[in-house]
Homo-oligomer: A and B are copies of this chain.
Amino acid sequence: MDKLRVSLLGSTGMVGQKMVRLLSSHPFIELAKVSASPNKVGKKYKEAVKWIEEGEIPEAAQDLTVVSTSPEDHRDVDVVLSALPNELAEDVELKLVREGITVVSNSSPFRMDPEIPLINPEINWEHLRLLETQRQKRGWKGLMVKNPNCTAAILSMPLKPLLKYGLNKLVITTLQAVSGAGYNGLPFMSIGNNVIPYIKGEEDKIPKESGKMLGELQGDKIAYVKLDALVTATRVPVKVGHMGVVTALFNSPVNAEEVRKELMNFRAFPQDRNLPTAPKHPIRVLEGEDRPQPEIDVKAEGGMAVSVGRIRQEGDSIRFVVLGDNLVRGAAGITILTLEVMRELGYI
């Protein structure tokens, strides 16, 4: 089987570097091209990047020549992966798709567009069928697939199995890592020894994007789930790992032990097909009363599993704490897994 050749937009950023590392040992995806901002174009990747990922720059990437984001620089690859900053993504990605290039992207523009699949693979791989609608309605020559906001990617995982119990209201407090704001997002002086109880835009995105992902595909449309979610998003002085403290209120009591089993046994298409980036257990249920913790649990299954602990029932409520790697499950890994699913389903 031929390898998929991909190019990567935003390859020198924090998420981009993580993709470069993850792809360096991928069995069937080959990083063929790297793109970065205009002042880096023409340099070798190893000269253009200020490498902060663990280990050395993968050998296969070191000498790649940085290309621009223009379509002409990406015609000879099978897919373009995008780790572009949100403010640049809209124009660049649209141009690529119009020119016939397939883009799988982490950036936020278009995520809530009804014809664009917003994919968290284990949750809603089936939404990729929207691509047919997309092609008809949009008239693009290429395809566009989006991944969710990092927090929504993590929180939507344990919500999926809970939906069937008749969720009435969600109260969520997030404790989010600094890397979620980007490498330069927060100065040490502002977040060191501190908590900032507000993250711009985040509290809306979480229920909106989750509601789209958890929705059912009905014909050529997704019936969004309307989540009555009260979210407060806070930033804590932790480098990697977004935590959510979730209180789910139901119309009648739900058994905590049953929920625990549902979460533990949760599997989906990526597991069934044994895709290389799929975690064996997408949701890892922890017993320790003081878990999950970023420093211990964030790298579970290479950062692709989310960890859930402190599952408890009181009256009509179920509470739990969920943690995920915002850079892997929430960004670089989810994009790669999405591409693996697309290939498995024949979209590429």
A4 to B186 alpha-carbon distance, docked (Å): 39
**Candidates B55, B187, B236, B314; contact of A195 at CB < 8 Å:** B236
A290 to B234 alpha-carbon distance, docked (Å): 9
CB neighbours of A186 from chain B (8 A): 187-189
A191 to B247 alpha-carbon distance, docked (Å): 24
Task: Give me the interface of A with B, judged by CB distance under 8 Å.
Answer: 14, 51-52, 54-55, 171, 173, 175, 178-179, 183-198, 228, 230, 232, 234, 236-239, 241, 243, 245, 247, 289-296, 299-300, 309-310, 314-315, 317, 319, 321
Known: A173-B173, A186-B188, A198-B310. A193 touches B239 (CB 8 A): yes
Residue of B nearest to A228 (CB): B315
How far is the CB of A178 from the nearest CB of chain B, in Å?
5
Contact indicator A238/B193 (Cβ below 8 Å): yes
**Candidates B183, B243, B245; contact of A187 at CB < 8 Å:** B183
A294 to B194 alpha-carbon distance, docked (Å): 6
Contact indicator B310/A194 (Cβ below 8 Å): no
CB neighbours of A239 from chain B (8 A): 188-189, 192-193
A198 to B243 alpha-carbon distance, docked (Å): 13
Contact indicator B292/A237 (Cβ below 8 Å): no
CB neighbours of A188 from chain B (8 A): 178, 186-188, 190-192, 237, 239
Residue of B nearest to A321 (CB): B197
CB neighbours of A234 from chain B (8 A): 175, 243, 245
CB neighbours of A179 from chain B (8 A): 189
Report the copy number of this chain in the oligomer.
4
A193 to B194 alpha-carbon distance, docked (Å): 11
* 9 A-B residue pairs with CB within 8 Å: A52-B190, A54-B299, A55-B299, A188-B237, A195-B294, A197-B290, A198-B289, A236-B237, A237-B237
CB neighbours of A228 from chain B (8 A): 315
**Candidates B54, B232, B319; contact of A230 at CB < 8 Å:** B319
How far is the CB of A197 from the nearest CB of chain B, in Å?
4
Contact indicator B295/A194 (Cβ below 8 Å): yes
A243 to B197 alpha-carbon distance, docked (Å): 9
CB neighbours of A236 from chain B (8 A): 175, 195, 236-237
How far is the CB of A174 from the nearest CB of chain B, in Å?
9
CB neighbours of A55 from chain B (8 A): 299-300
Residue of B nearest to A294 (CB): B194
Contact indicator B232/A245 (Cβ below 8 Å): yes
A16 to B194 alpha-carbon distance, docked (Å): 22
Residue of B nearest to A295 (CB): B194
How far is the CB of A21 from the nearest CB of chain B, in Å?
13
**Candidates B189, B241, B289, B296; contact of A184 at CB < 8 Å:** B189
Contact indicator B194/A321 (Cβ below 8 Å): no
Contact indicator B187/A175 (Cβ below 8 Å): no
Contact indicator A294/B193 (Cβ below 8 Å): yes
Given contact pairs A14-B189, A171-B247, A186-B189, enumerate 5 new A-B contacts (beta carbons under 8 Å): A185-B187, A187-B188, A193-B239, A197-B291, A234-B245
